[in-house]
Structure 1
Amino acid sequence: MDVRWYRKKFKIPVHLYEDRRDRTDVQDSDYRGRTALSRFELQEGILSLELKNLRHTDSGVYSCFATDGFWYGQGKTELIVRALGTQPSVSMDSSQGEQTRLVCRSEGWSPEPEVIWRDRDGNDVTSLSNTTVQSDSQGFLSVSSYIKIKQQSSVFSCLLRSKTPKPDWESKLHISSEYHIFVD
């Protein structure tokens, strides 16, 4: 049986099993060394593709075409790569002449998370913040958000929430009037 897994172009397979061997010579270079089909499962009619070292760019629709010379079949499946980023770190940044601000950073997200700032009473103060998002070489996102604060004792928290139902990461920073920092 010949089995071809591909994304957009049939002639550039993600994985090709043909003439009883894996054909890495025609495989999409982005997938070389990261895919496998089980020979045992093939004998049982199972055509599952194993994809290792997932990347954000692997998200998408995968098509499978199989034939034994007389019979053929095809199917599609969608892969969605999601990543919960690192626990956010909160630090204080005060440049000369500028208002003091808190900076919240986290990396490794997919898709982009929601950022929520709260004050000591639990009030949402996100509207007072600015957030930037950058993508790394693998398509995962780094988030940096800051909020300006007054020079007084206070407690702030920065919550990064996945837009999919997964755990949230939150960090708090207690600022005393002398700027001694205590991280929870």
Structure 2
Amino acid sequence: MALCLICGLFTLRFSTFINAVLSLTLLVCRGYSQEAPTKQIVALLGDDVVLPCSLERPVDVSDLQLEWARTDLIPGFIYVWEKNKENVGMKQPSYVGRTSLSSDKLNHGDVSLTLSKVQLSDEGLYRCFIPQLGQRSYVHLIVGSASTPVIKVMSNDSSRVVLQCESAGWYPEPELLWLDGEGNLLSAGPTETLRGPDDLYTVSSRVTVEKRHSNSITCRVQQRNTNQSRETHKHVPGSAVTKQPSATFIIVIVCLLYVGAVIAIVWNFILSKKPDTKVNETELKTMKQKRSRAPADDTETKEMKEEPPSEQLEDDTSAVDMSEVIKEGEENQETETQSTAQPSFTSSEN
């Protein structure tokens, strides 16, 4: 029984010792054997990017074999370092001349890979592996592309302005937003998205802005996965007219003008059909005078027609004789007047 207790105590102490040794070994070798969590790196199209990979302890790894590979490619090697130089035997052709390591950093346990002139096809999961140490780490590379949007004025009148925002060369597909001067979203038309042969996206949208007061309009294009955002501002001046008439007011004015024109036309038509009383009264008087003179004239005409030509001639002769008699009488009167005035003139001389 005592022997069993001694064996049990020995076993417990031995297991505790083993656990302590293992824990100490893990602590010492922590930087060499653990698999680091996956990191996410965003790179813009055409830029250079560094894929991080390093030991927690600064140990010289320049004499070790180092491997960088794409997990979705076979063979997936994009950089292999062995015997203090790069081995290009199994390197992916699309990465030739675009990957490199820093020999100075290798002396301090930094195996980070520099990838130059990033392409859209470079997006994917990368693995950094040191076979002698058993260390692996992963980097997820996200490739993005962005460009500054451009705002154009499509139409401009006294009360409103139509703006169009367009931005090309985006990846992945972005979203387009319109904002007012206070940062509030504006109601705009649907966003048109086009994808070109280079896999880059072009987005555009239009918005109508009322000229109620001076305002600054912002077009923002953003991509959440790559954390990229670009925006452009456009100042829209307020309307010079303080208040614009409403459409209802304009319709009422037009209707009133139309009704007034119709009434004027009808009134002129009625007046043109109504006889002129003054003209009618004058015509009636003239007709009455003509009718009153008509019997006498008719009688004289009839008598002249009934008289023979000889009697008409005698009447004309008698009329001539009478005029001569009147003329002679007037001359005698003038002679008598002169004779009467002459003696008075003589007496005055005496």
Per the normalisation by structure 2, the TM-score is 0.39
Please say if 1:49 is aligned against 2:113.
yes
In 1, are the aligned partners of 2:66 and 2:80 still within 8 Å (CA)? yes
Equivalent of 1:59, from 117, 123, 129? Answer: 123
For 2:147, the aligned partner's letter is T
Larger radius of gyration: 2
For 1:28, the aligned partner's letter is Q
Write the deviation string for residues 93-129 of structure 1: whole angstroms up to 9, x where unpaired: 57xxxxx964311134344332112468876344523
Q: 1:9–1:165: structure 2 CA closer, same or farther, 3 Å change rule?
A: closer
Q: 1:126–1:18: structure 2 CA closer, same or farther, 3 Å change rule?
A: farther
Q: Whole-Å Cα distance in 2 between the matches of residues 58 and 109 of structure 1?
A: 16
Q: What secondary structure is seen at the aligned counterpart in 1 of 2:105?
A: helix
Q: 1:51–1:120: structure 2 CA closer, same or farther, 3 Å change rule?
A: closer
Please say if 1:141 is aligned against 2:204.
no
**Aligned pairs, how many?**
166
Write the deviation string for residues 24-43 of structure 1: whole angstroms up to 9, x where unpaired: 34211221111101122223
1:160: which partner in 2?
Answer: 221
**1:16-165 correspondence to structure 2 within 5 Å:** 16-68=80-132, 71-83=133-145, 85-93=146-154, 102-118=163-179, 124-135=185-196, 137=198, 139-143=199-203, 145-147=204-206, 149=208, 156-163=217-224
In 2, are the aligned partners of 1:101 and 1:146 still within 8 Å (CA)? no
In 1, are the aligned partners of 2:123 and 2:141 still within 8 Å (CA)? yes
In 1, are the aligned partners of 2:100 and 2:114 still within 8 Å (CA)? yes
Q: Whole-Å Cα distance in 2 between the matches of residues 149 and 57 of structure 1?
A: 39
Q: What secondary structure is seen at the aligned counterpart in 2 of 1:30?
A: helix
Per the normalisation by structure 1, the TM-score is 0.68
For 2:134, the aligned partner's letter is Y
Q: 1:46–1:130: structure 2 CA closer, same or farther, 3 Å change rule?
A: closer
For 2:176, the aligned partner's letter is V
Q: Whole-Å Cα distance in 1 between the matches of residues 107 and 207 of structure 2?
A: 63
User: 5+ residue gaps in structure 2?
Assistant: 1-63, 156-160, 240-350
- Which piece of structure 1 moves more, 152-161 or 74-83? 152-161
1:174: which partner in 2?
Answer: 236
In 1, are the aligned partners of 2:218 and 2:231 still within 8 Å (CA)? no
User: 5+ residue gaps in structure 1?
Assistant: 95-99, 178-184
Q: Whole-Å Cα distance in 2 between the matches of residues 90 and 104 of structure 1?
A: 4
Write the deviation string for residues 59-102 of structure 1: whole angstroms up to 9, x where unpaired: 3221122234xx4332212223344x2221112457xxxxx964
Q: What secondary structure is seen at the aligned counterpart in 2 of 1:57?
A: helix
Q: 1:14–1:162: structure 2 CA closer, same or farther, 3 Å change rule?
A: same
Structure with greater proportional strand content: 1
1:6: which partner in 2?
Answer: 69
For 1:88, the aligned partner's letter is P
Structure with greater proportional helix content: 2
Aligned-residue CA RMSD in angstroms?
Answer: 3.4
Q: 1:165–1:12: structure 2 CA closer, same or farther, 3 Å change rule?
A: closer
Q: Whole-Å Cα distance in 2 between the matches of residues 140 and 53 of structure 1?
A: 16
In 1, are the aligned partners of 2:147 and 2:169 still within 8 Å (CA)? yes
Write the deviation string for residues 29-58 of structure 1: whole angstroms up to 9, x where unpaired: 221111101122223332111112223332
In 2, are the aligned partners of 1:158 and 1:170 still within 8 Å (CA)? yes
Percent identity (aligned): 27
